[in-house]
A and B are shown apart, each in its own frame.
Chain A
Amino acid sequence: NAGVTQTPKFQVLKTGQSMTLQCAQDMNHEYMSWYRQDPGMGLRLIHYSVGAGITDQGEVPNGYNVSRSTTEDFPLRLLSAAPSQTSVYFCASRLFQTGTGTYEQYFGPGTRLTVT
């Protein structure tokens, strides 16, 4: 049971380049999400998915695309990288909420992206 895995761990892009950050989980979690973490800003939600074929925008979706074709995988695409997208990106997964509570989120190790 690997939990949540992310690749790559580090990436340097030039402005205008595109790339895909990979995320996979083996816990059969319905809910997956992408966050970015910037100094002094906490974690901000980019996109999320409540199941295969269903995605929705979070707080800061501009410049990013996602798709969810399987339960296990939730890739994040940067369409045209900008310096403002320099950040640490975390993928997370959890069981979907039911009743009055939610479930703990499991985070991947993160991808440190620099856009020059």
Chain B
Amino acid sequence: GQQVMQIPQYQHVQEGEDFTTYCNSSTTLSNIQWYKQRPGGHPVFLIQLVKSGEVKKQKRLTFQFGEAKKNSSLHITATQTTDVGTYFCAGFRFAGNQFYFGTGTSLTVIP
């Protein structure tokens, strides 16, 4: 079954508003990656978090990895129309040697 849950499934925001998506795993992760998929496109890597409590920033995007390495979040400040797409987290466990993708959050930005 689904081992990494992601909420919300959909989010509509006015341009300029902030956006956050959350991932929760039922077990401890070795690391977590985030991907963005534009409509009709393929997933594109954004970032990887490895350490407990890690926070990384990419311009208006802030990524966090929980202290217990079981949850993560992506926050976008002041959304723009170019942020439209579906954001996926992907948790990795060395024991299973595979990534477990979240269900994704589809972001719509209203101009």
| A contact set with B: CB distance below 8 Å | 33, 35, 40-45, 48, 50, 56, 58-59, 90, 92, 97, 100-102, 104-110
B→A interface (CB under 8 Å): 2, 4, 6, 9, 30-31, 33, 35, 41-45, 48, 50, 88, 90, 92, 94, 97-104
Contact of B9 with A40 in the complex, beta carbons under 8 Å: yes
B43 touches A107 (CB 8 A): yes
Q: Which residues of A contact B6 (CB under 8 A)?
A: 42
Query: Which B residue's beta carbon lies closest to that of A107?
Result: B42
Q: Secondary structure at chain B's binding surface: helix, strand, loop or mixed? A: strand
Give the shortest distance, in Å, between B22 (CB) and chain A (any CB): 14
- Residues of B near A45 (CB, < 8 A) are 98-100
Contacts of B30 in A (CB 8 A): 100, 102
Q: Shortest distance in angstroms between B108's beta carbon and chain A's nearest beta carbon?
A: 16
Contact in complex: B9, A106 (CB < 8 Å): no
Q: Which of B9, B43, B48, B90 has most chain A Cβ within 10 Å?
A: B43
Say whether B33 contacts A42, CB under 8 Å.
no
A57 to chain B: closest residue by CB: B98
> Which residues on the A side are within 8 Å of B101 (C-beta)?
35, 42-44
A sample of 12 more A-B contacts (CB under 8 A), given A42-B88, A45-B100, A90-B43, is A41-B103, A42-B6, A45-B98, A45-B99, A48-B98, A58-B98, A59-B98, A97-B92, A101-B31, A102-B30, A102-B31, A105-B35
